[in-house]
Amino acid sequence: MSQIEARLHVLSLWQKSVIALAIGMSSTFALPPYNAIPVLIISYTGLIFLLNGCGRKYHAAVIGWCFGYGQFVVGLYWIANALLIDPVQFAWIVPFAILGLPALLAMFSSLATLLTVCVPVGCVARPLTLAIAWTGVEWLRGHMLSGFPWNLIGYAWTASDEMLQFTSLVGIHGLGFVTVLVAATPAILTRVEFGWRRLIPGALILISLVAIWSGGNLRISEQSVTEFNNVQLRIVQGNIKQHHKWRDELRQLQFERYLTLSSNPGNSTATHIIWPETALPFALKNKKINTQIGSLAGLDGAVITGVIHTVANTAGPPTVWNSLQAIGHNGRLLASYHKKRLVPFGEYLPFRSLLTLLGLTKVTTGAVDFTAGQGSPFVTVRGLPTFTAIICYEAIFPHHTHDSEETSQWLLNITNDAWFGDSSGPHQHFAMARVRAIEQGKALVRAANTGISAIVDPYGRVQQRLDLGEYGVIDGKLPRPLDRRPFYARWGDSTALLFIMVTTIILLLSSGEWRKHSAP
């Protein structure tokens, strides 16, 4: 036992819980927009020290919950911004949201630490078991119930294009496994009773980290990206604040803002114009408006916009979708996609019959819940290669963009991050969307109401962008997908599982820990 562990061992459970809460909070600063990656070493090495000092299994679960709670409270504080758009109706929910949701999400962290101490291996292998358990529960967090894979730990590397290239092989979950393993491994170096053998896993991991960076650097330095010849995009960022968006007296002004930006100098070369999620503050049911929008595009082009699409029902309230629609030059609807993954409490109220009794309603405007779309996210619009439609929240789900049949050639993400205000939320959201481009080997085009709008190449490199709070347009070409599909694009999360299995075997054999089973 190291001196640090000896000091921690004598602390009470509540004292250890406070330390876990503090290092969990600090770990968030490794994620966007800060990307202070070295704090992960303090956080996850500290977590290993705390787990090694657990006398009982439930102590590990409590420590893991406190660590996760601190991580989620700091990482998701921006939720309050969405609720304070309408403070009269939702301000009272803020404490429950920013403290309650992290409490639920921290159950996943609790499960990870509980599994870590339940595996019968010694202290040298504990960073490995933590990395496996952490990766597993992050995968569960992205799939259970409606899923919420926000701020997966692998996103800490979004400041390094070189490290992010590893996701083309193993996805964000594989990179997350490496991240936890690297951050927790320094705990081994303090175990002097294992002699020189304790250095072997650390040396292997350090070599692997250098190899991952070097491979990523080689991948992006020797590759160039070509573009589609006959496609010229104009991405419009209207920068309309959320508390202005649905005010009746401002709707026409907002529409005119998008018309003006779309037709500003340079428009004559644009074949396709892209507006953000719900750019239009009304449904596209007026022929005059449709024609006005369509006239912005060329004869063989289109305007692609986010819109609220409604269908009246004689027997009840209308059916409402959060949609992407493409309008041709003559005002005709060319294609549409309805958002499939809706935000709980934002776009629909789960357990509505029960929660309405408590005075709860969804945060977005209107009393009717949105309906989840059905069918394929692959959309074909005249003059464009087929694309994968991604509306807002869908960008955080790696499996939403997975294309086993190689149907689409690029990713189109429209979003309205005005809900997050000037917080870390928009930066986190954009960082996650960028990784989807690398995983699939396809360009990402992103139109965001208040930012961040961008054109991202298939290597995740930002070619052009409009930052948060800016007002304007991006005029640019559409990059082609990679000639050779990334390994992850072909096999999905199974690549991460294979990588973890191989790494586990190598590290256990190299450390000899499979024979020791020594007690912490």
- The catalytic residue among 392, 394, 439, 442 is 392
Active site annotation includes 339: yes
**How many whole angstroms separate alpha carbon 453 and alpha carbon 296?**
20
Task: For 320, list phi and psi in degrees, rounded to 5.
Answer: -125, 130
**Contact status, residue 433 vs residue 445, Cβ threshold 8 Å:** no
Q: Which of 16, 245, 339, 340 is catalytic?
A: 339
Q: Which of 5, 54, 66, 277 is catalytic?
A: 277
Residue of 162, 126, 235, 255 lying closest to 460 (CA atoms): 162
What number of CA atoms fall less than 13 Å from residue 77's CA on the CB side? 11
Residue 99 Cα to chain centre, angstroms: 21
Residue 269 neighbours by CB distance under 10 Å: 9
277 annotated active-site: yes
HEC assignment per residue over 222-252: CCCCCEEEEEEEEEEECCCCHHHHCCHHHHH
CA distances for 47 relative to 55, 127, 305, angstroms: 15, 10, 46
Q: Is the dihedral of CA 15, 18, 20, 26 positive or negative?
A: negative
Instruction: Report yes or no: 382 and 300 within 8 Å, Cβ to Cβ.
Output: yes
Helix (H) or strand (E) holding 10: none
Dist CA 455 CA 477 (whole Å)? 9
Using DSSP, state whether 520 is helix, strand or coil.
coil
Strand partners, 456: 444, 462
Number of residues assigned to the chain: 520
**Burial, 120: exposed, middle or buried (Cβ in 10 Å; 0-12, 13-18, 19+)?**
exposed
| 418/420 Cα distance (integer angstroms) | 5
Strand order in the sheet with 410-415: 378-379, 387-391, 410-415, 443-448, 453-456, 462-466
For 421, the token pair is 């205000």
- 39-52 vs 126-141: helix crossing angle, rounded to 10: 110
Separation CA 112–CA 155 (nearest Å):
19
Query: Is 362 one of the catalytic residues?
Result: no
DSSP tag of 269: G
Which of the residues are catalytic? 277, 339, 392
